[in-house]
Amino acid sequence: MSQVETPKMVEALGRRHLMLFSGRANQPLAQEVASHLGIDCGSVDLRAFANGEIYARFQESVRGTDAFVIQTHAEPVNERIMEQLIMIDALKRASAKRISAVVPFYGYARQDRKGRSREPITARLVADLFQVAGANRIITMDLHSGQIQGFFDGPVDHLTALPPLADYIRSSYGGELVIVAPDAGRVKTAEKFAGVLHSSLAFLHKRRSRVAPNEVSVREVVGEVEGRHCVIVDDMIDTAGTVVQGAEVLLAKGAERVTAAATHGVFSGPAIDRLKNAPIDEVVITNTLPLPEERRLDKIVVLSVAAILADAIRAVFEDASVSELFNDQNQL
């Protein structure tokens, strides 16, 4: 009897189960990812105590599962990060077999080095927090700088929203395009866009204030833009100062029209007012961050990255190659 049943028992013990859980930052994106995977988001009780402390309890067994916790670090950023960490800690203590943190927008990514003395490297601190909490892997999208992957002592799948953004630009705009990097640090990303779209390349020279945060000055354009449709590409649009100044400089240099494309629409502070009055025809972003109704403009187009995240989650669960899945076009 035991000789017959042993193989079945081993098979049952080796069978793995994928579960997806969502924090409260961007639940519509999580539901869309779950739909692509053909599953439902797991049930978790998330709430805050009177003093603001976060409570999390999973409503079903997670023992032995491959658990994926999706949470984008939207405003309020600190609370969203802490909520995801608490969920991961709860999964670890409930004996989940493998825990992956799915972070469409990684908080504190811009603090990835010391620009001046006595500054923190907060992107590294966030990576350390994920590791201590119990995350075995991070899946994220369009980090501010690629070296952040090295801050986490484990696998990091760094995805990019280039394919849907490039597809939209290709299908929506005719004529000769110029892909414009907003600064020297974005030239590599702009080169990828230009290569996919078979377009020429230009970049803006800007100087960022070392004292006042979110203040930049765009000074010059390097590249031929006169009489052409310019597409400024970046990883994020925060206060929109860079992209608006860039558009004004490009038009002053003879550009025919300007479009902006970015993965993450942070849109903090004066961003929406600036974009509303900016000489930019269209702002193309993705849904890595939620966009409340009161911040929506007719010129803002939101594309979905749910299919990209779902395919990456499926590949991780099946121990398949993420880069081969996307033919090396969706990883940076």
Percent of residues in the chain assigned helix, strand, coil, to nearest 5:
35, 25, 40
**CA dist., res. 86 & res. 250, Å (int):** 46
What positions carry a catalytic annotation?
206
Give DSSP secondary structure letters for 105-146. S-TTTT--S-SSTT---HHHHHHHHHHHHT-SEEEEE--SSG
DSSP-derived 3-state class of residue 54: strand
Q: How far is the CA of 127 from the CAs of 21, 269, 303, 328, in angstroms?
A: 20, 27, 27, 25
**CA dist., res. 28 & res. 177, Å (int):** 33
The pair of structure tokens assigned to 104 is 């469409």
**CA dist., res. 81 & res. 258, Å (int):** 35
**CA dist., res. 294 & res. 271, Å (int):** 13
